[in-house]
A and B are shown apart, each in its own frame.
Chain A
Amino acid sequence: MNYFVNEKGYYGDFGGAYIPEMLYPNVEELRQNYLKIIGDADFQKEFHHLLKDYVGRPSPLYLAERLSKRYNANIFLKREDLNHTGAHKINNTIGQILLAEKLGKKRIIAETGAGQHGVATATVCALRGLECVVYMGEIDIQRQAPNVARMKMLGAKVVSAVSGSKTLKDATNEAMRDWINNPVDTHYIIGSVVGPHPYPDMVSIFQSIISEETKKQLIEQTGNDQPDYVLACVGGGSNAMGMFYHFINDENVKLIAVEAGGKGVDTGFSAATTFLGKEGVLHGSRSILMQTADGQVVEPHSVSAGLDYPGIGPQHAHLFKTTRAEYVSITDDEALDAGLLCTQMEGIIPAIESAHALAYLEKMKFTGGENVVVCLSGRGDKDMDTYMKHFGF
């Protein structure tokens, strides 16, 4: 079974490039060049230099002893929360800004939900001196004020998306419209493994550093580069794809993708795409998305803005359909409880997104001795308001 992209830009039934003609030259330029540019020795040297000395990689693989005792397994946390800017998002923006420079682009656009990808994009634009415009839903701008301030201080222009539901999906639409209107000098840094081919592949390649490091660290710490389980949360799915990437062909490693169940999968307030979605086309690729019978995209709900997206990347849809990975869901309340537990047992405040992955440990049965890796995709500083309101601190 091939779990990776084929020469036509598909993962099994999913993927492709469903884009209007106005975007064809941009996407085609990327498609023809991305592997060549990424594979170039100078590019790799610069990419790894920045990941090491600017982002602070490798991020630790930490054996969480108290959680391990609680669950009767060896729980390893992949500490993406310790990256510069506080999440895994910067792995991708470093890669894409270098690629944009090679393509001669002068202006960068991005979409953002919680603001983590927006901050990671604004950061690399400041680093390289490129103009930066970030689209963000009007509602997200209100609920993520600290990240809006960070982007502005970094010199980015934050544009409010006022169409549709005024959240991540609509910010993505606005970014695509900007790209249509500015086809020559602009590169669109998509923040997840979604969008037209080659975006899902390109973003997963940049994020694959997560599993590449994890394998080396597992050998050092356990003598075996293959754990029993690998867990990650999924909105669009970029940290999960980075966490899974080098384990996908290790068929005895169980991959678990944790979706945001919101208030509960059957409540009408959920973002659990594989439970509620059907096959269709959104934001340039064929995948699984939450939609009405008429094919209109449905507004999802999650307490975590980073998982509040009605689709998943096409490679995830393929891993789901082939059952290579298991897709499960965790509610808002379960995630918040797991965030508190991790904070008080390990001294690590996780992002609510990452807390979804941690929460699934409560539902697993271990016999003792299993090695389990959880991607701690981001830190919880941005979520303090939500945590404080929920727990009444």
Chain B
Amino acid sequence: MNRITKVFKEKKNNILSIYYTAGYPGLGDTIAIAAALEKAGADMLEIGFPYSDPVADGPVIQASSKQSLDQGMDLNLLFEQLKELRKTVTIPVLLMGYVNPVLQYGVERFCKACAEVGVDGCIVPDLPMVEYEEFYKDTFLKYGLSNIFLVTPETSVERIHKIDSLSNGFIYLLSSSATTGQNLQVSDTTAAYFSRIAAMELNNPTMIGFGISSKETFDKACNYANGGIIGTAFVKSLPSGNLEENIETFMAKFRA
């Protein structure tokens, strides 16, 4: 069983997933951050591979991506670093990034490298569902990778069912149609949207992301989904000071 499937089987709610950018703040911090996050209570990790033109991201993740690239991060180096991943990290790990670096690396070569280092799935926001189904799905399945799709408040019911049928891990619910790093406001319409999804009884579990920055917003997310994903708020906490202490302090708020 894939580690993602396993975590949702063993722990049905309050699942906490953390996003961070590989090679940031220090180029060599990728594995240390993963290990510290698991130790501090994260249930799942999303490691961002940086891209020069991240259109779905707000300023914080853009800046971390740029710094990482400037320091020399690329997919070759990332997979080299990830060879150490499974020596210390047991929780599910996804890679998140844009489609062009994957295309240049080679889709099959990318999937194979993921499987070899123990990556469980991918989130590629600008890879369209129709392209995935036609050109990528078989390769992803061959290497046992989950592909995670995004759903927004504007996504139609019909499309959500289609996404559910193609998903094999969880579905990533965006709190609003927005770039990363906005604040989660659970207004009446957002609550209605989350409830609408919950009532659809999808085959896949759901995680809410985009805009979760505090225990309060995380708890709100957990009312409607199996858990929440934190990205920008975590990346913001990293740049200065001791890495492990920063991570412990950050995570203590959510695991209190």
Contact = CB atoms under 8 A, between A and B. Distances in A.
Interface of A: 8, 16-22, 24-25, 163-164, 169-170, 173, 176-177, 180-181, 183-184, 278-284, 291-297
B152 A294 contact: no
Interface string B65-80: 0100100001110000
Nearest to B59: A163
Contacts of B156: 25
A180 B55 contact: yes
Given A21-B151, A295-B101, A181 B178 contact: yes
Given A20-B126, A296-B69, A280 B103 contact: yes
Interface residues of B, number: 41
Contacts of B56: 20, 22, 177, 180
A282 B52 CA distance: 10
B76 A21 contact: no
A297 B179 contact: no
A281 B125 CA distance: 13
Interface string B118-149: 00000001111011000000000000000001
Given A22-B179, A177-B55, A295-B101, 18 more contacts: A17-B128, A18-B99, A18-B126, A18-B128, A21-B125, A22-B174, A24-B155, A164-B62, A177-B58, A181-B177, A181-B178, A183-B152, A183-B177, A282-B100, A291-B100, A294-B75, A294-B101, A297-B53
Most buried by B among A20, A176, A283, A296: A20
B201 interface: no
Contacts of B74: 292-294, 296
B242 interface: no
B131 A18 contact: yes
Contacts of B177: 22, 180-181, 183
B240 interface: no
A297 B52 contact: yes
B150 interface: yes
10 contacts: A18-B127, A21-B125, A21-B151, A24-B155, A164-B53, A177-B58, A281-B99, A282-B53, A296-B52, A296-B101
